[in-house]
Amino acid sequence: MEALVIGSGIAGMASAVRLARQGVHTTLASPAPSGHSESVMAAGGINATLSGNDEGDSVDSHVRDTLKGGCGIGGEKAVRGLCEHGEEIIRYLESIGTVFSVDSENRPARRAFGGQSHKRTYYCGSSTGKQIVSALIMEARRFEASGMITRRMKLNFHSALIKDGVCYGALLMDSESFRLEAFYSDFTVMATGGQNALFGKTTGSTLCDGYAAGKLFMQGAELKNLEFIQYHPTTLETAQKKMLISEAVRGEGGRLFFVENGKRVYFMEEKYGEKGNLMTRDLISREIYGCGKDVFLDISFLEGKTIDERLPEVRDLCMKYRSIDIKKEPIPVSPSVHFFMGGLAVHLNHETSIKNLFATGECASMYHGANRLGGNSLLSAMYSGLVASDEIAGRAPHRKYPDFSAYMEDERKGLKKNRDSKSTFPVFYIRDMLSKTMNNNLGIVRCEKNLDEGLSDIDYYLSIAEKIRYDRSVPPYTNFSLKAMLTLAGATIMAAKERRESRGAHYRSDHRDTKDEYAFSTIVSYDDGGYSVRFDKEHSYES
């Protein structure tokens, strides 16, 4: 049996290693090494309910918090599976050498995270993602050495090989030779991350552009809950991007304030009490947006030694990029796009609407509903990889593969034709306009008028994209990825338009209430250039 995993961050490596352990030969394909994936940027921690957690904490409590954070549309079965496996995942990560911070009793240490009733976020300083990635790279290396994992780098996803609703692998483009290569597989797992590039520069990686989800959507895969985009409340503006100031700062006691009449106003504490700084990310982002003032995050009251021990990366980042000494002064913060709760619609086993095509990690929509809790993304990246792999390992391989040679020849000819054509319209110009449209019209607060404007912009860009054909100043991938990214952007705005209520990270100034009639996931499908949005009242993806 042969599996193909596309994307080599935490979700991709978790899938590949689990498949290899069960005897499935796996090709792990990605444009860059795992150490370049967005996973290394996950800072704060990973949630789990272990036997030594605080009294009263339990899997049930974690489930309740996650469902509440997701505003009731996270899907209880899926969330329960996620939370029940927290301990197993922490133990597994320890066993492959993840360097968890430890408490005075030499047990993995925990910190408090937003929207949670108990302290259950296990962490590695403030570089939890990087530490997990390093451990998984080492574990994947074991299977690479034994031949069970074949790692292929410098490969970009082009399209899936699909016939009659079944996936048989993918076409990938070598980013050096620009040649298309077919990878046939019995099962294909997408682990390509979120759609950051639709918004230009976010807190995440420049490699996460949403192309794969957009292209698969155009090839027939359904998308889910695209309108739920998490704005992280605390990011630091720098000349090159907005950088995440980890929730760990608030977990360690950090306080948000603005200055009015020369005095600090701790607005979150005033409005929401003692735990105000640890409310959910969507709520804090809206409060910061709504206050209309420069907001700061203060942690300077902590002992310098504690900051050195628990928040060294935050300390260094602020000093390096803004010359801010967090031991002495507050950090200026503002919200920025951070995480996508929406993505490829998957069933409980992480299979998409295309048979034998799976999706894991942030490119899949599962668990987080309308808003994700801090610490649940690393958990879900790991868990989704395990679920998909276990499902695949129990299935039978294809009996035979259809002939895709005509499709591949058409695609190769199309790319050559485009390369040979001349166009004066730069792709980057359209990508810049796309990010302006998305930031302006799909921000923290939305309304019908803005969404209509955004959709009209996207339609216009799509009409231009059809005519560009090829921009010779950029590699082929940047060219052919444009249309699917624009299509994904259009689908996202359509989903936001159809959800005429406010829920979690989706807030509409013209529909401020949460309404029972919308207490379902949105599913978007593509039909020859058109988007069709429905609410999943039958819970078709919760089985």
The answer to whether 219 touches 211, Cβ cutoff 8 Å, is no
Residues 6+ apart with CB under 8 A from 134: 35, 98
The correct pick among 30, 127, 285, 479 for binding another protein (CB under 8 A) is 127
The correct pick among 1, 50, 96, 348 for binding another protein (CB under 8 A) is 96
Rg (CA), the chain: 22
Query: Contacts with another protein in 18-57 (CB under 8 A)?
Result: 32-33, 35-38, 40-41
The contact mask relative to another protein for 433-472 (x = CB under 8 A, - = no) is ---------------------------------------x
Nearest approach, Cβ of residue 148 and another protein (Å): 12
The correct pick among 124, 248, 392, 489 for binding another protein (CB under 8 A) is 124
Q: In 167-299, which ranges are continuous DSSP H helix?
A: 211-218, 248-251, 267-272, 281-291
Q: Does 347 bind another protein (CB under 8 A)?
A: no
Q: Does 139 bind another protein (CB under 8 A)?
A: yes
Nearest approach, Cβ of residue 105 and another protein (Å): 14
* Strands of 110-111's sheet in order across: 46-47, 121-122, 110-111
Using alpha carbons, list the distances in angstroms from residue 145 to 141, 142, 337, 434.
6, 5, 39, 43
Judged by CB under 8 A, the number of residues near another protein is 52
For residue 161, the tally of other CB atoms under 10 A from its CB is: 23
**N- to C-terminal Cα distance for the chain?**
25
**Closer CB to another protein, residue 109 or residue 162?**
109
Nearest approach, Cβ of residue 299 and another protein (Å): 19
Nearest approach, Cβ of residue 147 and another protein (Å): 10
**Closer CB to another protein, residue 35 or residue 397?**
35
Query: Contacts with another protein in 161-190 (CB under 8 A)?
Result: 176
Query: Rounded to whole angstroms, how far apart are CA atoms 293 and 265?
Result: 11
**Closer CB to another protein, residue 70 or residue 374?**
374
Query: Rounded to whole angstroms, how far apart are CA atoms 11 and 34?
Result: 11
* Strands of 155-163's sheet in order across: 155-163, 166-174, 180-184
Residue type, 368: H
Expressed in percent and rounded to 5, the helix, strand and coil fractions of the chain are: 40, 20, 40
Q: Does 332 bind another protein (CB under 8 A)?
A: no
**Closer CB to another protein, residue 153 or residue 291?**
153
**Closer CB to another protein, residue 125 or residue 194?**
125
Angle at 15 between CA 86 and CA 115, to 5 degrees: 35
Contact residues: another protein, CB under 8 A: 32-33, 35-38, 40-41, 94-99, 101-102, 124-125, 127, 130-131, 134-135, 138-139, 141-142, 144-145, 151, 153-154, 176, 201, 205-207, 239-241, 243, 317, 320-321, 426, 428-429, 432, 472-475
